[in-house]
Amino acid sequence: MQEIFIGEYIRHHRQDKGLSQEKLCEGICEPMTLSRLENGSQTPSFSCVNALLQRLGLPDDRFTALLSQNELEIVRLRKELVAAISHHNTGKGWETVRELDRIAKKDDQVVRQVILRAKAVLGREDKIRSPEETLAMLEEALRITSPHFDPEEISRGRYCAEEIKIINSISDIYSEIGERKKAADILSQLLRYIQKQNQDIPQLLSMVAYNYAIDLTLLKRYEEAIETAELCWQSCVERNHYQFLPGSVHIIAECRYFLGELEESARLYTRAYYLYRAIDEKSDLEILTKEAKEHLGLLFKN
């Protein structure tokens, strides 16, 4: 295995992309901290180094670091939080957020951003939060590390995985309140950014492509939706991450129906049905079963 000094690795790729230290680390850490990382006199937190690598479009799982007990716990809690949000386990999510909030350092901007995004996505524990309130929280979370974020010029930024997730969540809110064209525009820019930067972070491309395909379907832009869902499908298979695979097949099946391609639509509905069954995705399976019956008279058992 080739060994390389992480600071030198970051400096080389930063300079190769023509980025100043200030531009790369904005919102994540002070330029002096990055300078010390690059010259080997200081190693910032694990979450900080990860975010810097992700902004450079570099894999964050190919370097070894000596983690403190606190950092190990933060890594564990962040994984638990991702799982809780993914499975809509609000109770577990809030439990994890409170523990993460307790142990995170006040100056760890990346972890503070993770916490605020989680609070926005999970919703309030005591009452329902309005979409507008959630949107304000997500924008606040994004500006912790991207203070100059402009939704009209997404390609001008540099984003780590957490920032991309927040921008994706912002588009979800716009879609929820009926501003689907705005949601689709945000996701279109974000998808182009990920493809341009070749951001090698698992599931980001498939997540954004999946949500963009949904908005395109709702806007009745069926051919574009199929193309985007196929991109999601391909990404899932190539990266061995299958969370969005059944949904992407489902989207294509629905679009083929609206384009009058009934035989192909039926074939894809059947494939999506068994994929949902394989991962035990009950809510989406129920939607597909009802939809396939109404559109094509297909009868599936839940």
Report pLDDT digits (tens) over 73-84. Answer: 998 999 999 899
In a domain, 223, yes or no: yes
**Rounded CA gap, 251 and 61, in Å?**
32
The per-residue pLDDT for 128 is 82
CATH of residue 35's domain is: 1.10.260.40
70 phi, psi to nearest 5 deg: -65, -45
Domain end call among 55, 72, 91: 55
Q: Is the pLDDT of residue 222 over 50?
A: yes
Q: Which of 17, 39, 55 is the last residue of a domain?
A: 55
The most confident of the ranges 45-49, 270-274, 276-280, 297-301 is 270-274
Residue 156, domain member (yes or no): no
pLDDT number for residue 1: 38
Total number of domains in the chain: 2
Q: Which residues contact 156 (CB under 8 A, 6 or more apart)?
A: 150
Q: Is 187 a domain residue?
A: no
Residue 95 resides in a domain? no
Stretch 151-167: mean pLDDT = 90
97 found inside a domain: no
41-67 pLDDT, tens digit per residue, is 877 788 898 899 999 988 766 565 556
Query: In whole numbers, what is the pLDDT of the chain averaged over residues?
Result: 90
Domain span holding position 291: 216-302
Tell me, yes or no, whether 130 lies in a domain: no
Determine, yes or no, domain membership for 288. Answer: yes
Residue 152 within a domain: no
pLDDT of residue 199: 58
Alpha-carbon distances of 194 from 50, 77, 87, 165, rounded to whole Å: 17, 26, 25, 12
Query: Which two three-digit tokens encode residue 123?
Result: 């919703």
